[in-house]
Structure 1
Amino acid sequence: MASYFDLKGTTIDSFKIGKGGPNLTRSGSNIIKVNSNQIITEEVEHPGYISNKYYTSTPLTDGFAAVSASTTLNTITYFPFRIPRYFRMVDGSLNVTTAVTSSLFRIGIYTTNSTSFLPDTLVDGIATSSSDLSGGTTGFRTTAWFSALYMYPGWYWLAIASNASISFTGETSYPAYNYFMGSDTLSTTAISYGYRNPSTWVAGSTFNTTAVIDSLTTFATGAPTLFFKAL
């Protein structure tokens, strides 16, 4: 028979859920953990994602512009973005602003490592060359590769790889992401929008399950915007 009790008004910081069950523990003023795993809570800063509406990966913009060389041959570039509420994401899009003949690119999404705060594990991404997106003409390139991608609140990284230097619509002049990423120097001019790492482009290859971050450098040109649809 189940038992019920009310913890309201108590000062219990930790208790076990059921016989042999996990420990529910307070951590800080209002964060709860089950064993060592933090319970994810939705943020109030976003009202929620409405089905069939299109959204962007950042609220930080003073007007879209072309982010030069958002991706280049034999590199993978990561850009942080935050999801404040749970929803299902479909139709991820980037807008090509500088076309390159015969160019192709792939996009993926990685989680954020809770210790290093760097790109970590692949959530989903274009898997084969037949699914690669063309950068040969300008305009939106949309993929349904994450047609069943359920996004939980947290920080993620947009990953872009390509066989050429392609520019996409994004943010170039709004205050950079130093607030989120930090800076290597104490400076009023140092700019951080993302990270770039060497990664050989191979036709038909897939994104690594674990992000390649062995030789990261700061990307300071701007941050491409991921456009996506909620379902």
Structure 2
Amino acid sequence: MSDRTDNASVAAKAPHGISDVARAAGVSSRTLRHYDAIGLLPATAVGEGGLRRYDDGALVRLQRILLLRGLGLGLSEIARVLDGEQDDVAALRAHVTWLEQERDRLARQLAAVRTTITRIERGDDMTTHDTFDGFDQTRFRQEVEERWGADAWQRGQDWWSASDPAAKAAFQAEQRAIATDAAALAVSDDAPTSAAGTALARRQLAWLAQAPGPALTADRFRTLADMYVHDERFTQAYEWAGPGAARALRDAMHALADAGAV
């Protein structure tokens, strides 16, 4: 009788079995057990036969894990994001904004590809606008050229094209790590001038300095910092890690420049 009572209590507390969760989320039960073992997604309870079970809060956490994993983050980075941002609703709203932008971009790409198929089948001429709508890799080009010269964009493109896959991966991983730390700073009590804020701004300075272009003066550093907040395209490069990440990074960068360290 006591076993049945205990099992009923477990099911009421955590109604979602590991097999059902794994199947619905498109991951394996082994993956969920691994997430449990490393503390990324602890099972809410353990039922009969040692089977892990999950409550609604665990489902929300798993959704966030999958969203962050889809952005290319490693498990250790994901853990830092989730541990640094406890407001699930605010974090998910930031994800919604990013996902809506991605949805719109993918919808445009889908329409462009369908148009291409139709034109090929009909023997119609191609147009550059219809063919490449949604593929705009140069969406920041105008800002870069207006601020730092006509050849600044091309130099950056040439540098990126010449970088090997490992260098590109490392560059992108550092940007994601900076975004994660910026999100953590946003929810902490640390000021932009704190040790954490200074370290964050110095990492951003070193990351930016990897790319060729005009010298990173204090004024240019501040301008870049402001763009992270005032231009939503740049903001989303950091806000996926948590609300306030772009603003926290901006403030830290300003503080570093004001201190004469740039």
| TM-score, normalization by structure 2 | 0.25
> Whose strand proportion is higher, 1 or 2?
1
Q: Which one has the largest radius of gyration?
A: 2
With the length of structure 1 as denominator, give the TM-score of the two structures: 0.27
